[in-house]
Amino acid sequence: DLAYLNGKIMPIGKATVPIEDRGYQFGDGIYEFVASYAGRLFMLEEHLDRLERSMGELTFDAIAREDIKKAILELFEQSGYPRAGIYIQISRGVAPRNHAFSRGMSPQFVMTIRAVKELPKSLRENGARAITVKDLRWGRCDIKSVQLVPNCLAKQKALDAGCDDAIFVSDQNVVREGTSSNLFIVSDGRLITHPLTHNILPGITRLAILGICHSAGIEVQESFFGIEELYGADEVFLTGTITEVLPIVRIDDKPIGDAAVGPITRRLYALLREKALADTPA
């Protein structure tokens, strides 16, 4: 497994960052996670779009998109993994600890690459269980910031409860997303997912699913819905780069539909895999 550290590729264990990295001290950093299928990175340009947007929203000094892309491709090639997961993190830079920051800092650019650890087959076939949790995150969840403590606590709470993931619900009873995934419900044959606001991450897999539904003539509505609609849905699934399309069959110990993987979820998973593999060279 390899790491990339400001222009150099090395074994992960050899890569270290200075303790005054603002990403380390303030969570003043952003990240991306890209995966490959059969030797080709899936939706890389869309991930680069989001990375640039995250940096822009936090007013980081820019790193050229082409330089970032070149480094990603170099690390990917050097790894030799056909099915790789690349974690990319950029922090504002290194400086003596001070909440205020100066302009003209050099962002710290680090990556790790590993072979993707696929989710257990049984989870995909039988469906996952989730709990709902209060959304304690900040008001800019659209930025892919490294500040993930509420997500980590929610995920751990789900595991401690014998479940697989947690779903964030706002104080006003709006169902947002998973701890590292977006959420869709199926109701009367149509999909509903939270609209793109400051309260959810604009997922690349979410985007892929919207495109797939458009091509397949499956109706999707981007609108708000509450916990009653979540419990009452025919199907519920999560989307994410590693999650892909993951069925949720029980939420807060209540069955969703007949507590089995539904036909639309199954179809969308197949279509997503097909798209990911179609993007690869013969």
Active site residues: 144
- How many whole angstroms separate alpha carbon 274 and alpha carbon 53? 28
3-state SS assignment for residue 247: strand
145 binds ligand PLP (CB under 6 A): no
∠177-174-229 over CA atoms, to 5°? 90
Of 53-61, 118-126, 184-192, 237-245, the segment contacting ligand PLP by CB under 6 A is: 237-245
Distance of closest approach, residue 264 Cβ to ligand PLP, in angstroms: 18
204 binds ligand PLP (CB under 6 A): yes
Q: Which x/- pattern over 63-92 shows residues binding ligand PLP (rule: CB under 6 A)?
A: ------------------------------
Distance of closest approach, residue 124 Cβ to ligand PLP, in angstroms: 16
Distance of closest approach, residue 140 Cβ to ligand PLP, in angstroms: 12
Distance of closest approach, residue 144 Cβ to ligand PLP, in angstroms: 7
In this chain, which of 203, 233, 247, 256 binds ligand PLP, going by CB under 6 A?
203
Closest CA to 112 of 145, 146, 79: 79
180 binds ligand PLP (CB under 6 A): yes
Please report the beta strands in the chain, taking only residues with DSSP state E, as ranges in sequence order. Answer: 2-5, 8-11, 29-37, 40-41, 84-91, 108-115, 128-134, 165-169, 175-178, 182-187, 190-193, 220-222, 235-240, 244-251, 254-255
241 binds ligand PLP (CB under 6 A): yes
In this chain, which of 36, 89, 112, 182 binds ligand PLP, going by CB under 6 A?
182
CB-nearer residue toward ligand PLP: 94 or 132? 132
DSSP state of 14: G
Of 86-94, 119-127, 157-165, 202-210, the segment contacting ligand PLP by CB under 6 A is: 202-210
User: Which residue reads 């009653």 in tokens?
Assistant: 228
36 binds ligand PLP (CB under 6 A): no
Closest CA to 241 of 50, 6, 23: 50
In this chain, which of 128, 201, 233, 264 binds ligand PLP, going by CB under 6 A?
201
Distance of closest approach, residue 102 Cβ to ligand PLP, in angstroms: 29
CB-nearer residue toward ligand PLP: 130 or 201? 201
- List contacts with ligand PLP (CB under 6 A): 33, 177, 180-182, 201, 203-206, 239-241
